[in-house]
Copies of this chain bind each other. A is one copy, B any other.
Amino acid sequence: MLKLGIIGTNWITQQFVEAAAETKRYELVSVYSRTLAKAKDFGKKNGATKFFDDLTEFFKSDTFDTVYIASPNSLHFAQAKLAIDHGKNIIVEKPAFTNQKQMQKIQELLTKNPSVHLLEAARNVHTKNFSAIKKQVVAMDRIQGASFTYMKYSSRYDQVLAGETPNIFTLKFAGGALQDLGVYTAYDAIALFGMPDDVAYYPQFISTQVDGKGTAILRYPEFDVTLNFGKITNSFASSEIYGMKDTIVIDDAGELTDVQYHDEDGKVTQIGDTPEGNPMVDEANDFAEILEAPEAPKNRENYEKWLSLSINVNKVLFNLRQSGKLEFPDD
């Protein structure tokens, strides 16, 4: 049983804690929040027994072996460093880190602490439907590009319009559309097609200086991939992977709940399942598999694959920000 400590008490933490419980491979022990009452409230409801409002005490407590980090993006780096210092495995919400400098530092620390593992919670690429998409891509004669769209109006944008500055829409906390939803589409593209040769980003800035919406182009030797994402409006457009006369059609690039293959004769086949229940269970299982037996060759191979994917996504997001002139204070 993996002993779990968590940082954050918001809805995504709740969802992960429930997913972890569902796998029966994690036991939630410790909860950190800046407010002890919040840690207790959230923790007791979910079966935790230790509560902290001091981050160093939390990591020193030796009550857990794996930390799940779902704090605002810009805090991940310092928290992950502390975790590595204290020998804790890390599951960190995407985007793991906000720039390449941070990612490189973490890589150095991981190399020095080989018993510690870092896993980025990019739930979409851990789903069965993503595997089905990948299998279909491999089976297709030729790929001629893709378009991934994930655009949902965030209720927090109501707050922005009312003059407030919710974390997710601030530069200080490394928020904005690319970081929050674009990261799903970047994961889709890079997990399927690897690193692009070149990238371009066209952000639409909002009053808080972050990107509320944007279009990114990833240029591969043989084709381009377009990423569309946003938090200030709603898209109903499908995501697509283009073959010759055949196309994979996906309801949306974040949820991947409906995946169809249109073959060259126009015949439509459902590929993958209609997922039910908690969308974080697949990643929770994938991560448990690795953390339970990190030395098993298959697990080691998967870990290297996920870590290298994290590094690549971090690099692409950073390059997209450079292209779009979107700077964070930590840069």
A residues contacting B by CB (< 8 A) are 144-145, 147, 149, 151, 153, 200, 202, 204, 212-215, 217, 219, 223-224, 226, 228, 230, 232-240, 242-247, 249, 262
Contact = CB atoms under 8 A, between A and B. Distances in A.
Contact of A238 (B212, B223, B238): B238
B228 A147 contact: yes
Contacts of A228: 147, 226
B219 A247 contact: no
B224 A234 contact: no
A296 B249 CA distance: 49
A235 B242 CA distance: 8
Given A200-B200, A202-B200, A235 B219 contact: no
Nearest to A155: B245
A169 B182 CA distance: 34
Q: Chain B CB within 10 Å — which of A204, A232, A237, A249 has the most?
A: A237
A233 B215 contact: no
B204 A215 contact: no
Given A147-B228, A226-B226, A228-B226, A234 B215 contact: no
A240 B247 CA distance: 20
B247 A213 contact: no
A160 to B, nearest CB: 12
A282 to B, nearest CB: 26
5 contacts: A145-B233, A204-B224, A226-B228, A234-B242, A237-B240
Given A149-B237, A153-B245, 19 more contacts: A144-B230, A144-B233, A145-B230, A147-B235, A147-B237, A151-B242, A202-B217, A204-B223, A213-B242, A214-B224, A226-B226, A232-B244, A233-B243, A233-B244, A234-B242, A234-B245, A235-B242, A237-B237, A237-B239
A239 B219 CA distance: 22
Contacts of A200: 200, 202
